[in-house]
Amino acid sequence: MKTILITGANGQLGRKINDVSVKTSELEFIFTDLPETDITNVDSIDKIFAENKIDIIINCAAYTAVDKAEDDQENAYQANAKGPEILAKKAAETGAKFIHISTDYVFDGQANTPYIETDVEKPVSVYGRTKLEGEKLAIKNSSDCIIIRTSWLYSEYGNNFAKTMLKLATEKEKLNVVFDQIGTPTYAGSLAKAVLKIVLDYVNLNTWKSGIYHYSDLGVCSWYDFAVFLLKQRNLNTPIFPVRSSEFVTRTQRPAYSVLDKSKIIKTYNISIPYWTDACLEMLRKL
């Protein structure tokens, strides 16, 4: 039996991995988060490794407040870059495998075809820059590191676009949602299953292929399309109006195009990915 350490366990992905892991008898999971375990503190990580034989680390911890990060750069750097560095070094020291979750924000969003893993990164925000630095430090310090970039993550847990839209639709007379930002909603449950597939391939087949991978659900839409679909499924008749990003003043720029090419992860790990609307229906049934 292999022992899997999940950091950032109280976040959307961590909680969905917890949901999926209940059905997995081959693995023992340790779910941890602040204040119990601080990935930016070497002593904190040393302590949990001293108490447990860890075979695989899955780092779901991150500073994800995109706008707030612009004025809180040090804390964003600590969580998104320093933390992965500490975990990668510990993985190398103990022989553990390391899976680190990253983001489409490492790109500038100016492409017009889906991003592949070898495309040049050009982050335009503190969040994106710190996440990219975390990727680099993880790869530098652990030869057994897998980076998974994802986009537009949502679930029945925590705060996210899907839950916010459904809530606002019951409170507002109308909604304005941007239509000029294009990407793919990713249900955290789908990503959790993909991560677990990689782990199980290692446990059962001794297959581990380090590197950077892209994962989102299949298909493409705008935030406006996503909102329309959500409200329709809940029979909410609140009018939704498409608006340009320029009509919303935010602290930082969002990628206009963040579609990720999933070919590499599908081919390498034979992962079956659902279409985004099907995954969203699964989430809504559990909400």
Domain boundaries, the chain: 2-158+185-217+259-276
* CATH number, span 2-158+185-217+259-276: 3.40.50.720
Pairing, β 186-187 against β 153-154:
parallel
Residues with catalytic annotation? 127
Amino acid at 48: I
Other beta carbons within 10 Å of 204: 9
The burial of 1, by beta-carbon neighbours within 10 Å (0-12 exposed, 13-18 middle, 19 or more buried), is given as exposed
CA distances from 187 to 16, 151, 190, 194 (A): 9, 9, 5, 11
How confident is the prediction along the chain (287 residues), in pLDDT tens digits per residue? 899 999 999 999 999 999 999 777 788 999 999 999 999 999 999 999 999 999 999 999 999 999 999 999 999 999 999 999 999 999 999 999 999 999 999 999 999 999 999 999 999 999 999 999 999 999 999 999 999 999 999 999 999 999 999 999 999 999 999 999 999 999 999 999 999 999 999 999 999 999 999 999 999 999 999 999 999 999 999 999 999 999 888 888 889 999 999 999 999 999 999 999 999 999 999 99
b (16+ CB within 10 A) / e for 47-77: ebbeeeebbbbbbbbbbbebeebeeeeeebb
Q: Model's pTM, two decimal places?
A: 0.96
